[in-house]
A and B are shown apart, each in its own frame.
Chain A
Amino acid sequence: MRKLLLTYAALLALLSLTVAASFIPLDTWSLPVSLGIATAKTALIMAFFMQLSRASTLTRVAAAAGFLWLAILLSLSFSDYAFREPENASYHSNP
């Protein structure tokens, strides 16, 4: 129970951190920072609330699979998007 409360405190701290960070002009680093904090929160939730920290390897693999396959979807799609010429980036010219 103490672990759960500590996790919760950490989550709230991370929430304050990410909101605070959004007011600092981090420019291109803003997205990686906020996603990094979100990932940290997810890790906490999954490890302690969802009890993956004491789950079997099989369960952990099942939990990881969805994220892994999402990574495949994103990364291979960006093998296309990352190389689009700006003028061909989409089919509509700006107004």
Chain B
Amino acid sequence: MSNATSAGDYRATKSYLHHEPHSIRAWLLTTDHKRIAWLFIASITFFFVIGGLAATLIRLELITPVGDLLTAEGYNRTFSLHGIVMVWFFLVPAIPATLGNFLLPIMIGARDLAFPRLNLLSWYVYILGALFTVFAVVAGGVDTGWTFYTPLSSMFANGNVVAAIIGVFVVGFSSILTGINFIATVHTMRAPGLTWFRLPLFVWAIYATALIMVLATPVLAITLLMVALERLFQIGIFNPALGGDPLLFQHLFWFYSHPAVYIMILPGMGVVSEIITCFARKRIFGYRFMAYSLLAIAFIGFLVWGHHMFVSGQTTYASLAFGLLSFLVAIPSAVKVFNWTATLYKGRIHFDGAMLYALGFVALFTIGGLTGLFLASVALDVQVHDTYFVVAHFHYIMVGGMVMAYLGGLHFWWPKISGRLFSEFWAKVSAITIFVGFNLTFFPQFIMGYLGMPRRYHTYTPEFTSYHVISSLGALLLAAGYLLPLLNLGWSMFWGKRSGSNPWHATGLEWQAHSPPPPLNFESVPEVTEPPYNYDARDPFDGSRPQ
């Protein structure tokens, strides 16, 4: 590994997918960021399916007002499984560890991340921790929800709480390692001429995400460790019987977990910025504002965690401060939505599959973001706290926003990742199905939450039946929508048409590399001479799209 590679070695004829060796062992011991991205794609898809199955159970149970499918305990365990798996093992690593891992080095013209072996370690840490937790949760059952609130988790809950916590603790280190790797890479490995303000917004987004991962995750780690020690050895830290403060747990937990929401959404914003500017054939509107607002969201995201604790017994003064600070996040978020819209204005818009996903993201993120403002105002939050209003709000951000962006990005860069083209028709069908199915599932939840339907109950009064039935039917459509990309992209992997290196005629270094790229990405170190998204300066695109 110590040999400096001579120029001749870059000219690898085979892509990273076909490059020798490609035994299973070689894939499991690879340090190539592109192969590691694949390891993550496969793993998060697996966990998405598990979390999705739990969600299906939840929605099935809620079709009727009585608890006929699951017991109360079983329901608690199911939504805990759903939350734990989806948040920790799908949403947090989703875009950074897959698309980020694959694209970051290519987008900055590097051969790999700064620490390739650390990158592989990060996958092993992730997969071992996650499998361990899922085993613990399925085998023993955990009914604390994904938040592990004390003193429930530390003193009262039954089941494998400690095992689940240890697993999440371990997976946290995967985040930290990925974050360190990304930050060091962006700072030290940009190609000649690639100044900070020539970076694609996706790189900015991943960079901002990495900052949060690095600065927030350690606090989660120590917090969970303290809960585990309290439960295992009675080393009381949060225990009210000793004069400990359970709210301390919430402060520490949300110091990570609110910024973690931005770990989930910032990469999505990066993806969408790339897609919209490409398919509007127009330079992104207000590039610098877009970059600054990503950093601003990452920073302000650390100042708002108390809005999760308005009804927990936090003092009113703290609630006021946190409420006010929470409103501030709306400013950079709105800047982004306005700038995406302004990018579309007078653009030559092409409604490709990836673009439909991106537009869906903007719509759903806007709804999710605006309802977030409701929840940031103390008076209104007291009314809707722990109701389905909250459930709908964060699903609009995390599922409507983040998953839409992930799938959009996966479609957009699929030709780069696989070297193949998928069916545009089915991509569009899936984007529309998911958009409709998602709204059917979660919009009714805003209404019933506002009317007072509390979250985490497996029975309810009959007046909510119609909302729950619509929601469950929508979930069915949503599930079908999620299946389509899996089939479409999976099919294209083997039978799709070869894509060529730049099927969307997009700017950006990643489109200069071969599709799929060779192991070291570029034949020679690329040099950057123009600003990002220089679509205006190029030949007007004639509109005919490769199908």
A–B touch (CB < 8 A): the answer is yes
Which residues on A are within 8 Å of B, measured CB to CB? Answer: 58, 65-66, 69, 72-73, 76-77, 79-80, 83-84, 88, 90-92
A76/B303 in contact, CB under 8 A: yes
Interfacial chain A residues near B245, Cβ < 8 Å: 90-91
The binding surface of chain B is classed by DSSP as helix
A92/B315 in contact, CB under 8 A: no
A90/B240 in contact, CB under 8 A: yes
B215/A83 in contact, CB under 8 A: no
B219/A76 in contact, CB under 8 A: no
Chain B interface size range:
20 to 34
- Candidates A80, A83, A92; contact of B240 at CB < 8 Å: A92
Pick from A65, A72, A76, A88 the residue with the most CB of B within 10 Å. Answer: A76
**With contact pairs A72-B303, A91-B246 given, residues A77 and B251 touching in the complex (Cβ less than 8 Å):** yes
CB<8 Å pairs between A and B, sample of 11 = A65-B215, A69-B302, A73-B219, A73-B251, A76-B306, A79-B317, A80-B317, A90-B240, A90-B243, A92-B241, A92-B243
B315/A83 in contact, CB under 8 A: yes
By beta carbon, the residue of chain B nearest A91 is B240
Which residues on B are within 8 Å of A, measured CB to CB? Answer: 187, 215, 219, 240-248, 251-252, 255, 302-303, 305-306, 309, 313-318, 321-322
Pick from A65, A80, A88 the residue with the most CB of B within 10 Å. Answer: A80
A80/B242 in contact, CB under 8 A: no
Interfacial chain B residues near A77, Cβ < 8 Å: 248, 251, 255
**With contact pairs A73-B219, A73-B255, A92-B240 given, residues A79 and B302 touching in the complex (Cβ less than 8 Å):** no
By beta carbon, the residue of chain A nearest B240 is A91
The binding surface of chain A is classed by DSSP as helix
A80/B241 in contact, CB under 8 A: no
Question: How far does the alpha carbon of A65 sit from the alpha carbon of B251 in the complex, in Å?
Answer: 20
Interfacial chain A residues near B252, Cβ < 8 Å: 73
Question: How far does the alpha carbon of A80 sit from the alpha carbon of B187 in the complex, in Å?
Answer: 37
Interfacial chain B residues near A88, Cβ < 8 Å: 313
Rank and list the top 3 A-B pairs by shortest CB-CB distance, nearest first.
A80-B318, A91-B240, A83-B315
By beta carbon, the residue of chain B nearest A69 is B215
Interfacial chain B residues near A69, Cβ < 8 Å: 215, 302
- Minimum Cβ distance to chain A for residue B365 (Å): 26
Interfacial chain B residues near A83, Cβ < 8 Å: 315-318
B315/A80 in contact, CB under 8 A: yes
By beta carbon, the residue of chain A nearest B320 is A79
Interfacial chain A residues near B215, Cβ < 8 Å: 65-66, 69
By beta carbon, the residue of chain A nearest B151 is A91
B321/A79 in contact, CB under 8 A: yes
By beta carbon, the residue of chain A nearest B245 is A90
A76/B321 in contact, CB under 8 A: yes
